[in-house]
Chains A and B, each alone.
Chain A
Amino acid sequence: MNLLEFTAKGIYCPAADVYLDPWQPVKKALITHGHSDHARWGHEQYLCTTPAEPIIKHRLQLTDNIQSVAFGETVMINGVQFSFHPAGHIPGSAQIRVELNGEVWVFSGDYKLQHDGLSEPFEPVRCHAFITESTFGLPVYSWPSQADVFDEVNRWWRKSQEEGKVAVLAGYALGKSQRILKNVDATLGKIMVHGAIETVTNIFREQGMILPPTVRVLPEMKRADFEGALVICPPSAIGSPWLRKFEPFSLGIASGWMGLRGTRRRRGADRGFVLSDHADWRELNQAVRETGAEKVFVTHGYSEIFARWLTEHGLDAREVKTQYEGELSEMAEATEDKALEA
C-alpha cells in the first residue's frame, strides 16, 4: 500500500482515508487551490489553507463544511501528518505534504517558482515521492522575467491610449487578473474590470490584499467611459459580444500559451503577453531536483514527455492520468469563468 494512490476518484491516501483535489464527490477532500479543476463540488468535508478558503467557499457556495489551516501547520488524520506549503501558483495555493512513519510524499497541485509579488513564494519541500504538474513541460517554454513582461504591458497600454483604443487584456479571473492589477503601472489610467474579476478581486481585498482601485464594467456604460482605460476580462469574453462596446480596442492576452507564435496568432489577439501561473521547463526541473525525490509522478500537461525526460535523468518517473486539465486548460478556465459569473 502506497502512502498516496491514484484512483478513479482522485489522489487518495488510504491510511488517512482522505483525497487530495479529488474530481468525484468524497467524504474528506484536501484542496490545493480554488481553480475549478482542483476544487470541485460535492465533497462532504473540505480542508485548505486559510488564505485559499474565502475563494473556495464563495465558488462552491460552502457554509460550514470547510476548514482551513495556516501554511506549515500540521494536521493529523488517522496518524498521518498533513501540511500545506506555498505553491506560488495563485494567492493561497498550496502543495500538500503527507508523512507517515518517516515516508514523505508531496502533491504539488499547480505551481510556479517565479515570484509574482502576490502569491506566497513557492517553497521547495524535501520528499521521497513528488507528484508534479507538467502544463508547460516542454523545453520551448521559458518565461521572460515578470518585470520585462509588465514593461511591455505598460508600453502597450500607453500606445493604445495614443491610438485612441481601449486596452483590453484577457487573463484568468482567479489569480492572473490580480497579478496584473498588482504589477501594472496603475498611474497610467483607469483600470476597469469584468464583473467576474471584480467579484474575485473584492474577496482578496477583504483578506487585506492591497490592489489599485478598479471600476466594474456595467452594461449601461458608454464608449466614452472607457477612454484611455485598461479593461481586464476573463479569456471567455474573447469573441463575445461583450467586447463590442470597447471598439476600437486592442486585445491582449496574458498567458503562458502566448509563448508560442502559433497560439498567439490563433487566438486572434493583437498582443500576447507571456505571463504564466505555471512553472516553465526550467522551473519544473528545478522544482523536481530540489525535492530530492527519487519517485516522481507527472500529472496534467505534457506528462508523458516530462516523465520520459526525468526517467532518462535517472529518476523513477511515470505519467499519471488525472482529471486536472493541463492540455485543456483554456477550456477549463473558460468554464471556470462561467462558474464565477453565476
Chain B
Amino acid sequence: MKRFAQLFTELDQTTKTLDKIKALVSYFEVAATQDRIWTIAILSHRRPRRTVSAGYLGTWATERAGLPMWLFEESYSVVGDLAETISLVLPEPDERSDETLTFWINFIKSLEPMSIEEKKEKINWAWHRLGGVDRFVFNKLITGGFRVGVSQQLMVKALAKYARVKENVIAHRLMGNWSPETTTYETLVLTEDTQDISRPYPFYLAYALEGTVEELGDPTEWQAERKWDGIRGQVIVRNGELFVWSRGEELVTDKYPEYAAFLELLPNGTALDGEILPFRDGLPLSFNHLQTRIGRKSITSKLLQEVPVAFVAYDVLEWEGADVRSWPLTTRREKLEALAATKPHPVLQLSPTINFSTWDQLREARTHSREYRSEGIMLKRKDSIYRDGRRRGDWWKWKIDPFTIDAVMIYAMSGHGRRANLYTDYTFAVWSGDQLVPFTKAYSGLTDEEIREVDRWVKQNTTERFGPVRSVKPELVFEIAFEGIAKSTRHKSGIALRFPRIHRWRKDKAVAEANTLQDLQQLLNTHG
C-alpha cells in the first residue's frame, strides 16, 4: 500500500503530464503484478464494489476520534472530501503495516456479506494499522473518486512506455469489458486478446476550434457535418452479436432496444461511430427527451414510442472484420454511405455532410444550427485517419454561441476537493416582478482570481448561513451562458437549463438590470 500511496502522492503533486507518466512508469516497474492491474483499474474508475456505506464510515470515524457528529460534519464541509476528512480526524495508528494494495482491495471486498457490527470491527482494525496517505487511500478505495488527473490517454502513454507496446494497441486493449477480478495484467496489456468480442475502439475526440475557421486553410480539404447534441456512441456487430458503447465506456446495448435492427443492417465485423439521438420525423428531438431515457431502468413501450432513438452515424471504424481506422476519412465515408443506402432503416441515420466551397458559406450554414437541433458544426479533414483520444489538428468542433442571460447571485456554497474552503458554487436568480426567483446553479467559468474576489465578497456580504450555504446580498450580476432550456416541474422557476455556466462577471451592471423570468420563458417558448 505504501508504494501505491506514494504513487498517489506523486500524481497528486503535479499537473504536468510528463511527471505523471514518469511516476506511473516507475510504479509499474516495482509493483506486484496483481497491484499493477488494480492500479490500472482504479485510475480508470473501476474500483471495487462499495461494501460499506459512506454514512457508516463517517459515524465510526467520528466515534473513534471522540468527536460529536456536528463537528465532524463541519469539518467535512470545510475539507470537501469524506475519505480525507476521516483520515484527518482519526488518531494516529498504533502500528504501521505495509500490506499490498491487492490485500486491502480483497479486504474491502470480503466485507460484503458481513453484518454491520462485523464491518465496523474490520474497518476499525484497518484504521488501526494505516496512517497518513495510506489511510486516505484506503478510505478512497471504499468511497471512490480518485481524482488525480490520470486520463485514459495518460494511462495509455505510461503503459505503452512501461510495457513497450504501441500506444494505439494499448488504448484499444484498455477499452471494453475487462475487470481486474477476471483479467490479469498479462492478458490485458500484453496479449492479443480476441476473446472479448465486445471491445470498442477508443473514441476520437475533437477540440473546440481556436481562432478563425480561415486558419484551417483550403475549405475543400474539409468535410463539415452538424454537431449533434446526443450521446456519442459506437455500434458494433460481431459474431452475430450487437454491442452498443457510450463514450463513458459503458455498455448500453440494453437501453436502446430499437438498435436490435442493426443485427439485420450491419454485416458481422462492423463498427460504427456516431451519435445516439432521439429522432422523429427526420429531426432530432431535444436532449431533454433523451434524458428521459437515460436514467430509466426499464424501457416501456410507451417510452419507446414517445422518444424513439436513432443512431446518427458518421464514421466506420471496422469493416469486414478489419480495423480500418487508418483509411482516410473520405474512403471510410464512402463505405458508410454505401452501407446506409443498401438497407435504409429509420434507426440508421447518416449524419449528412454540409455542402460548401467557401468558409463564408459554412459560416452561413452554421447560423442555422439551432433549426437542426445541433450545437454547431464538426469539421474533419478529408484525408484524416481515425485517431484515439482528444487530439488537435484533424477534427474540430465549431460550436454556436450559447444562450446568455444576466442574473443575480443570491446564494454561495463552498466548493469541494480542489476548491474546498472557497465559495465557488453559486445560485442565480432573475426578476419576477420585484422578487428574485432562483433559476440555476453554476460553478464554473470564473478565473481563479475572480473566484478569490467573489469568495472574499461572499464572506463579507453574508446575510444568513445554513450549513455550507450562505445567502448573500443581491448585488453581483453575472452573465450565465447555457446550451438549452426546458420546462421543469422540479424547479421553482419552472425551467431547467442545460450546461449552465458563468460567462462573465458583469461588474458594469446593476442588480435592477438583470433579466426577468419572462425573458427566460420567451426563450423556452422559442427553443424549448
| CB of A305 closer than 8 Å to a CB of B | yes
**CB nearest to B416 among chain A residues:** A262
| CB of B421 closer than 8 Å to a CB of A | yes
CA distance A305 to B71 in the complex (A): 7
Query: Is B88 a contact partner of A262 (Cβ separation < 8 A)?
Result: no
Query: Is B75 a contact partner of A262 (Cβ separation < 8 A)?
Result: no
Binds B, one of A105-113, A138-146, A193-201: A138-146
Known: A139-B71, A140-B78. A262 touches B459 (CB 8 A): no
| CB of B44 closer than 8 Å to a CB of A | no
Binds A, one of B79-87, B225-233, B393-401, B403-411: B79-87
| CB of A327 closer than 8 Å to a CB of B | yes
Query: Is B13 a contact partner of A140 (Cβ separation < 8 A)?
Result: no
Bitwise interface map of B from 26 to 42 toward A, beta carbon under 8 Å scored 1, else 0: 00000000000000000
- Within 8 Å by CB of A262, from B13, B65, B72, B419, lies B419
Scan residues 92-145 of chain A and give those whose CB is less than 8 A from a CB of chain B: 138-142
Scan residues 285-316 of chain A and give those whose CB is less than 8 A from a CB of chain B: 302, 305, 308-309, 312
**CB nearest to A266 among chain B residues:** B418
Scan residues 31-89 of chain B and give those whose CB is less than 8 A from a CB of chain A: 65, 67-68, 70-72, 74-75, 78-81, 84-85, 88-89
Bitwise interface map of A from 245 to 289 toward B, beta carbon under 8 Å scored 1, else 0: 000000000000101111101101011000000000000000000
Known: A263-B420, A265-B12, A305-B71. A140 touches B459 (CB 8 A): no
Query: Is A262 a contact partner of B81 (Cβ separation < 8 A)?
Result: yes
| CB of A328 closer than 8 Å to a CB of B | yes
| CB of A331 closer than 8 Å to a CB of B | yes
CA distance A326 to B434 in the complex (A): 37
Contacts of B68 in A (CB 8 A): 309, 312
- Within 8 Å by CB of A139, from B65, B420, B452, lies B65
**CB nearest to B422 among chain A residues:** A266
Contacts of A270 in B (CB 8 A): 13-14
- Within 8 Å by CB of B75, from A138, A263, A271, A328, lies A138
Query: Is A261 a contact partner of B459 (Cβ separation < 8 A)?
Result: no
| CB of B257 closer than 8 Å to a CB of A | no
Query: Is A139 a contact partner of B67 (Cβ separation < 8 A)?
Result: yes
- Within 8 Å by CB of A140, from B12, B88, B415, lies B88
Query: Is B417 a contact partner of A261 (Cβ separation < 8 A)?
Result: yes
Known: A139-B88, A139-B89, A328-B456. A265 touches B418 (CB 8 A): yes
B456 CB to closest chain A CB, in angstroms?
7
CA distance A309 to B448 in the complex (A): 33
Known: A138-B74, A305-B74. A260 touches B456 (CB 8 A): no
Query: Is B419 a contact partner of A140 (Cβ separation < 8 A)?
Result: no
Bitwise interface map of B from 322 to 356 toward A, beta carbon under 8 Å scored 1, else 0: 00000000000000000000000000000000000
Query: Is B80 a contact partner of A262 (Cβ separation < 8 A)?
Result: yes
A338 CB to closest chain B CB, in angstroms?
16
Interface size counted on chain B using CB atoms at 8 A: 32
A240 CB to closest chain B CB, in angstroms?
12
**CB nearest to A139 among chain B residues:** B89
**CB nearest to A331 among chain B residues:** B456
Instruction: Kindly name the residue among B15, B70, B79, B416 whose own CB sees the greatest number of chain A CB atoms within 10 A.
Output: B79
**CB nearest to A262 among chain B residues:** B420
Query: Is A262 a contact partner of B418 (Cβ separation < 8 A)?
Result: yes
Contacts of B78 in A (CB 8 A): 138, 140, 260, 302
- Within 8 Å by CB of B13, from A271, A328, A331, lies A271
CA distance A142 to B75 in the complex (A): 13
CA distance A200 to B275 in the complex (A): 63
Instruction: Kindly name the residue among A261, A265, A305, A308 whose own CB sees the greatest number of chain B CB atoms within 10 A.
Output: A261
Known: A139-B67, A270-B13, A270-B14. A261 touches B84 (CB 8 A): yes
CA distance A274 to B420 in the complex (A): 17
Query: Is A140 a contact partner of B418 (Cβ separation < 8 A)?
Result: no
CA distance A262 to B85 in the complex (A): 11
CA distance A309 to B73 in the complex (A): 13
Query: Is B89 a contact partner of A261 (Cβ separation < 8 A)?
Result: no
**CB nearest to B83 among chain A residues:** A261
Query: Is B89 a contact partner of A140 (Cβ separation < 8 A)?
Result: yes
Contacts of B420 in A (CB 8 A): 260, 262-263, 266
Known: A140-B85, A328-B459. A262 touches B71 (CB 8 A): no
**CB nearest to B417 among chain A residues:** A262
Scan residues 36-95 of chain A and give those whose CB is less than 8 A from a CB of chain B: none
A339 CB to closest chain B CB, in angstroms?
18
CA distance A271 to B417 in the complex (A): 16
CA distance A140 to B62 in the complex (A): 11
CA distance A305 to B467 in the complex (A): 12
Query: Is A327 a contact partner of B459 (Cβ separation < 8 A)?
Result: yes
CA distance A270 to B80 in the complex (A): 21
Contacts of A327 in B (CB 8 A): 459
Contacts of B80 in A (CB 8 A): 262
CA distance A327 to B460 in the complex (A): 11
Scan residues 165-204 of chain A and give those whose CB is less than 8 A from a CB of chain B: none
**CB nearest to B136 among chain A residues:** A261
Contacts of A266 in B (CB 8 A): 418-422, 448
Instruction: Kindly name the residue among B71, B72, B89, B459 whose own CB sees the greatest number of chain A CB atoms within 10 A.
Output: B71
CA distance A314 to B459 in the complex (A): 30
Query: Is A139 a contact partner of B75 (Cβ separation < 8 A)?
Result: yes
Query: Is A309 a contact partner of B71 (Cβ separation < 8 A)?
Result: yes
Instruction: Kindly name the residue among B14, B72, B75, B80 whose own CB sees the greatest number of chain A CB atoms within 10 A.
Output: B75
CA distance A262 to B75 in the complex (A): 13
Contacts of B85 in A (CB 8 A): 140
CA distance A141 to B85 in the complex (A): 10
CA distance A328 to B13 in the complex (A): 25
CA distance A222 to B75 in the complex (A): 45
CA distance A234 to B459 in the complex (A): 24
Query: Is A260 a contact partner of B84 (Cβ separation < 8 A)?
Result: yes
Scan residues 183-213 of chain B and give those whose CB is less than 8 A from a CB of chain A: none
Scan residues 412-453 of chain B and give those whose CB is less than 8 A from a CB of chain A: 415-422, 448, 452
Query: Is A263 a contact partner of B13 (Cβ separation < 8 A)?
Result: no
Contacts of B418 in A (CB 8 A): 262, 265-266
Scan residues 63-118 of chain B and give those whose CB is less than 8 A from a CB of chain A: 65, 67-68, 70-72, 74-75, 78-81, 84-85, 88-89
CA distance A268 to B71 in the complex (A): 29
Query: Is B456 a contact partner of A265 (Cβ separation < 8 A)?
Result: no
Contacts of A141 in B (CB 8 A): 88
CA distance A262 to B72 in the complex (A): 17
CA distance A266 to B449 in the complex (A): 11
A236 CB to closest chain B CB, in angstroms?
12
Contacts of B12 in A (CB 8 A): 261, 265
Query: Is A263 a contact partner of B421 (Cβ separation < 8 A)?
Result: yes
Interface pairs (6), CB distance under 8 Å: A141-B88, A260-B421, A261-B84, A263-B420, A270-B14, A328-B459
A interface residues with partner B (beta carbon < 8 Å): 138-142, 257, 259-263, 265-266, 268, 270-271, 302, 305, 308-309, 312, 327-328, 331
Known: A139-B65, A139-B75, A139-B89. 6 other contacts (CB 8 A): A142-B88, A265-B12, A266-B422, A268-B15, A302-B74, A327-B459
B interface residues with partner A (beta carbon < 8 Å): 12-15, 65, 67-68, 70-72, 74-75, 78-81, 84-85, 88-89, 415-422, 448, 452, 456, 459
The 5 closest A-B pairs by CB, nearest first: A262-B420, A140-B88, A265-B418, A140-B75, A139-B89
